[in-house]
Amino acid sequence: MSLAALRDDLVPFLAPYLPSNDVSAKERPFITLTYAQSLDSRISAAPGVRTAISHSETKTMTHYLRYHHDGILIGSRTALADDPGLNCKFNDEFEKSPRPIILDLSQKWRFQGSQMYTLYKQGRGKPPIVVVRGAPTLRENDVDYLIFSQNERYIDFEILFSRLEAEFGLHSVMVEGGAFVINELLARGDLVDSLVITIGSVFLGKNGVEVSPANSLELKDIDWWNGTRDAIMCARFLNPKIV
């Protein structure tokens, strides 16, 4: 299904928060943390339940962000629950799809049979980079593996992002979720260059999957966009520090 047209006013609104076109290698990529949340700070109606929060206007905005990023990162539970495509449908410019990056340390997710696989085979998406702990138990065709040591329970995002730049040449990565990943990155504001949050006009209730940082955080460079049903807040972290 094709996307709604991008609202004209979203282009100047988002411009200051997008990665630059500078392709020279840096220590790490430009990082955008972006997700859609309800009014009660939930990103899905219940654990493992794919939940549409964004209106078609803001869904198109997400594909516009995908158009502007080299990589798109999600946690394994989002990959398993949502079976997402993670491609770029903006103007049907599928070749501008970001490289999916799946944090799948315990190796539960499979590319074959996924929506990402179907899109890749149709030439409408890219194959993933799967982040694993230890040697992959099953090496799938067309998948790149980013291998961490068996001893590492949780991956330090600073190291992960540096490796994505150094080993895969990704200059920009948008992090879409899920809650576990978002909460971890909210605690690492020093690594986040832009924050783009869609707020849908819905309450998802107490069973919903909540996003919330461990500590209070202050923002700067805040701007708001109002759509038909959703709003988007763009910002940067003020005094980001490691908590």
Ligand X SMILES: NC(=O)C1=CN([C@@H]2O[C@H](COP(=O)(O)OP(=O)(O)OC[C@H]3O[C@@H](n4cnc5c(N)ncnc54)[C@H](OP(=O)(O)O)[C@@H]3O)[C@@H](O)[C@H]2O)C=CC1
User: CA 144 → CA 10, 119, 128, 141, 153, distances in Å?
Assistant: 34, 17, 7, 9, 21
Residue given tokens 């849908």 in the structure block: 200
Who's near 214: CB < 8 A, 6+ residues apart? 183, 186, 187, 243
Beta bridge partners, 75, equal 103
The token pair that represents 103 in the structure block: 């944090």
Residues 6+ apart with CB under 8 A from 52: none
Nearer to ligand X, 36 or 173 (CB): 36
Q: Binding of ligand LIKH6CAM at residue 98 (CB under 6 A)?
A: no
Residue 193 near which of ligand X, ligand LIKH6CAM, none (CB within 5-8 Å, type-dependent): none
Sketch the per residue contact string, 10 through 29, with ligand X: x for CB under 6 A, - otherwise. --------------------
Least distance between ligand X and beta carbon 174 (Å): 11
- Partner whose binding site includes residue 32, from ligand X, ligand LIKH6CAM, none (CB under 5 to 8 Å by kind): none
Task: Count, in order, helices (H) and strands (E) of the chain.
Answer: 6, 11
Q: Name the residue nearer to ligand X (CB basis): 24 or 153.
A: 153
Tell me: does residue 180 bind ligand X (CB under 6 A): yes
Size of the site for ligand LIKH6CAM (CB under 6 A): 16
Strand, coil or helix: 43: strand
36 lies in the site for ligand X, by CB under 6 A? yes
Q: Does 75 bind ligand X (CB under 6 A)?
A: yes
Query: Cβ neighbours of residue 53 under 8 Å, at least 6 residues apart?
Result: 36, 37, 38, 43, 198, 200, 202, 204, 230
201 near ligand X, rule: CB under 6 A? no
Q: Which stretch binds ligand LIKH6CAM (CB under 6 A): 19-27, 82-90, 137-145, 234-242?
A: 82-90
Q: Which is nearer to ligand LIKH6CAM, 132 or 174 (CB)?
A: 174
